Chains A and B, each alone.
Chain A
Amino acid sequence: MSLTPFLGKVLMVDLVKGLSVTFHNQSEKERITEQYPLERPVVFARYRGQPRLNVNPETGESLCIVCNLCALACPEQLIVVKGERNPATKRKEVVSWTYDLSRCMFCGLCAEACSTDALELTQDYEMALYSREGMVLDQAALERGPEPVRYAK
């Protein structure tokens, strides 16, 4: 056995190294546990969560033009959009809009297909429900968007 490893063994260098690692882990900066309801995790910018149907912030009108592209893009075919032409404005308007969240895999293809940026997958992740009933979102729920419970820190 050559001298350096022998000395390292006698002086327990490896053990001391390990001890220093665990000692430095104690600092508050290293902590990664989050106190979930009090501290909310910061999700990635491109995280895809609960869908939202955007409205024009000035007029409050839906941005959706009932082009049906999202329903066509959806691999699960969980989006059903029905609209009819308004003779006054000569524009198609939404009659019913449903989004079945229970079948959604958050691929984001619908939001990508949307030509007016009306449909968007937000960064909200709190979508758990007690029953399947609330899983099918209608236009009102989609326009309200996610309403996470905020615990002030």
Chain B
Amino acid sequence: MLESVLNYLKSGVTPGEAGSQLWATIYIVVIVLGVSIAVIAMNWLERKILAHMQIRLGPMRVGPHGLLQPFADALKLLIKEDIIPANADKLVFWSAPVVVTMTAFTTFLVVPFGRTHAVTDMNIGVLFMLGISSLGVLGIIMAGWSSNSNYPLMGSLRSSAQMVSYEVAMGLAIVCAVLMTSLQTGTGTLSMIGIVEAQNAQGTWFIFKFFPLGFLAFVVFAIAMVAETNRAPFDLPEAESELVAGFHTEYSGFRWSLFFLAEYSAMLAVSSIAVTLWLGGWLRPFANTLSGPAWDLAFSLIPGLSFLVMAAGCFLGTIRMPKIVQMRAQVIGLGVFGALLGFVGLVLLLPGVRERVQDIFWFVAKVACFMYLYIWYRGTFPRYRFDQLMKVGWKVLLPIGLGVLILTALVGMRQELHDMLAAVVGGTR
């Protein structure tokens, strides 16, 4: 038993490649748990960071610094009355949140958290992710339609229009990255793992490839992905001032929380596409300039050390908490949380663990940057008007995407073009 586990861990392949259903199931369970925890953490972080950006404090009372607020909210949502509007299409109303959540979670099948840390390495990975995440629109339209109410319907129609228009620009940006994968080998790949390995082989992340081109494609994608997940400043489908809450106006309790879960896991999913395609996936930063075994060791220590720093932050927090009887439980809670983080940090410092976990850490750290960006945008930008949204999608992002695609192709083929031109010139001579 133990031997087979160790054998698998040493083999260095994904469960899909190993053909092991058991390991695939384990990976899926771990990923579902991990994404759920990430969504819970995101809930708290978003409220905290947004509050700090607006010079507020955010949740402070439920647990130390409001750390238990997401759990309190989840409990509240679970025990809320489950309301289905009288004239709603019950079956569709019931299945819409299921569709949205399923699609949001299914995309994580091909997300490579590391060379061996993906459920499977699909040869059409990017296509699969895009296709499945576009299916989320279906759930949103179902929700809006079945509610039999004006605001949800408007919200869902806006959402579909927005997603369809931004998917075009997004697709063009992705094709740029896929083109770049074919540069050295001659054959491009749509496999998520293949794309990261191509970046490893070419010795550069695609964001820096052909300097302005890769960066521009990334920017197009980064804007389109915010629109794709209906987040501020493109959150027209749920514009509070106009549509109450958009497509989930009629939803309450647990069904509503499924939409919430789906929205945040969709954000995680598109961020992980961006990280895989342009930011080198699980590859550590500065792999070229700071190479060598010493640097490798130093970088492999960072995951554990960062957890230790977080733990130190928690302990500092316990010292700075008000020293009164009413806050004692909170101080102890924060101390325990810090101890937990410190323990995780120490485990991550073990040699066997840190080798296996550091690629997950780099991937998650990059995705976390995107999550911060999402919150930052939400705290900063006002919502676009619908015509402005369409203008940005069709008149700005689409031409830029097309231009970058053509230029990438030309620059990538410059040797061949040069040869061809030389042959033509030579032939006429």
The residues of A with any CB-CB pair to B shorter than 8 Å are 15, 18-19, 21-23, 25-26, 30-33, 35, 38, 151-153
Contact of A25 among B53, B324, B377 (CB under 8 A): B53
Which residues of B have CB within 8 Å of A22?
53, 376, 379-380
In the bound assembly, the distance between CA atoms of A10 and B376 in angstroms comes to 20
In the bound assembly, the distance between CA atoms of A152 and B328 in angstroms comes to 13
Which residues of B in the span 398-418 have a Cβ within 8 Å of any Cβ on A? none
Bitwise interface map of B from 377 to 400 toward A, beta carbon under 8 Å scored 1, else 0: 101110000000000000000000
Taking A18-B381, A31-B52, A151-B326 as known contacts, 9 extra A-B pairs with beta carbons closer than 8 A to each other, sorted by chain A number, are A21-B380, A23-B53, A23-B376, A25-B52, A32-B55, A38-B322, A151-B322, A152-B323, A153-B322
Q: A35-B60, A152-B324, A153-B322 are in contact. Are A18 and B55 (CB under 8 A)?
A: no
In the bound assembly, the distance between CA atoms of A31 and B54 in angstroms comes to 9
The answer on a CB contact under 8 Å between B376 and A19 is yes
Residue of A with least CB distance to B56 = A33
Which residues of B have CB within 8 Å of A23?
53, 376
Tally of A-B residue pairs with Cβ under 8 A? 43
Contact of A33 among B57, B322, B377 (CB under 8 A): B57
Q: A18-B381, A152-B324 are in contact. Are A26 and B56 (CB under 8 A)?
A: no
Contact of A26 among B49, B326, B377 (CB under 8 A): B49
Contact of A15 among B53, B60, B381 (CB under 8 A): B381
Which residues of A have CB within 8 Å of B56?
31, 33
Residue of B with least CB distance to A38 = B322
Q: How far is the CB of B60 from chain A (nearest CB, A)?
A: 7
Q: A18-B380, A153-B322 are in contact. Are A25 and B55 (CB under 8 A)?
A: yes
A-B contact pairs, 5 of them (CB 8 A): A23-B53, A23-B376, A31-B55, A35-B57, A151-B324
Q: How far is the CB of B17 from chain A (nearest CB, A)?
A: 42
Which residues of A have CB within 8 Å of B55?
25, 30-33
Residue of B with least CB distance to A153 = B322
In the bound assembly, the distance between CA atoms of A114 and B324 in angstroms comes to 41
Q: How far is the CB of A28 from chain B (nearest CB, A)?
A: 8
Which residues of A have CB within 8 Å of B324?
38, 151-153
Q: How far is the CB of A27 from chain B (nearest CB, A)?
A: 8
**Which among A15, A22, A38, A153 has the highest number of chain B CB atoms within 10 Å?**
A22
Q: How far is the CB of A59 from chain B (nearest CB, A)?
A: 37
Which residues of B in the span 341-379 have a Cβ within 8 Å of any Cβ on A? 376-377, 379
In the bound assembly, the distance between CA atoms of A23 and B377 in angstroms comes to 10
Q: How far is the CB of A36 from chain B (nearest CB, A)?
A: 11
In the bound assembly, the distance between CA atoms of A15 and B56 in angstroms comes to 22
A-B pairs with the 9 shortest C-beta distances?
A22-B53, A26-B52, A33-B57, A22-B380, A18-B380, A22-B379, A33-B56, A25-B53, A153-B322
Which residues of B in the span 137-186 have a Cβ within 8 Å of any Cβ on A? none
In the bound assembly, the distance between CA atoms of A20 and B326 in angstroms comes to 37
Residue of B with least CB distance to A151 = B324
The answer on a CB contact under 8 Å between B380 and A19 is yes
In the bound assembly, the distance between CA atoms of A21 and B377 in angstroms comes to 12
Which residues of B have CB within 8 Å of A33?
55-57
In the bound assembly, the distance between CA atoms of A152 and B322 in angstroms comes to 8
The answer on a CB contact under 8 Å between B57 and A26 is no
Which residues of A have CB within 8 Å of B52?
25-26, 31
In the bound assembly, the distance between CA atoms of A18 and B377 in angstroms comes to 9
Which residues of A have CB within 8 Å of B377?
19
Which residues of B have CB within 8 Å of A32?
55
In the bound assembly, the distance between CA atoms of A32 and B54 in angstroms comes to 10
Which residues of A have CB within 8 Å of B380?
15, 18-19, 21-22
Residue of B with least CB distance to A15 = B381
Residue of A with least CB distance to B233 = A15
Residue of B with least CB distance to A35 = B60
Contact of B57 among A19, A25, A31 (CB under 8 A): A31
Residue of B with least CB distance to A23 = B376
Which residues of A have CB within 8 Å of B379?
22
Q: How far is the CB of A48 from chain B (nearest CB, A)?
A: 28
Which residues of B have CB within 8 Å of A152?
322-324
Residue of B with least CB distance to A16 = B380
Q: How far is the CB of B320 from chain A (nearest CB, A)?
A: 11
Which residues of B have CB within 8 Å of A30?
55
Which residues of B in the span 297-314 have a Cβ within 8 Å of any Cβ on A? none
In the bound assembly, the distance between CA atoms of A83 and B42 in angstroms comes to 68
In the bound assembly, the distance between CA atoms of A153 and B324 in angstroms comes to 7
Residue of B with least CB distance to A26 = B52
Contact of B53 among A26, A151, A153 (CB under 8 A): A26
In the bound assembly, the distance between CA atoms of A21 and B55 in angstroms comes to 11
In the bound assembly, the distance between CA atoms of A32 and B55 in angstroms comes to 6
In the bound assembly, the distance between CA atoms of A99 and B48 in angstroms comes to 46
In the bound assembly, the distance between CA atoms of A21 and B49 in angstroms comes to 14
Which residues of B have CB within 8 Å of A35?
57, 60
Which residues of A have CB within 8 Å of B326?
151
Q: How far is the CB of B67 from chain A (nearest CB, A)?
A: 16
Residue of A with least CB distance to B48 = A26
In the bound assembly, the distance between CA atoms of A33 and B49 in angstroms comes to 14
Which residues of B have CB within 8 Å of A15?
380-381
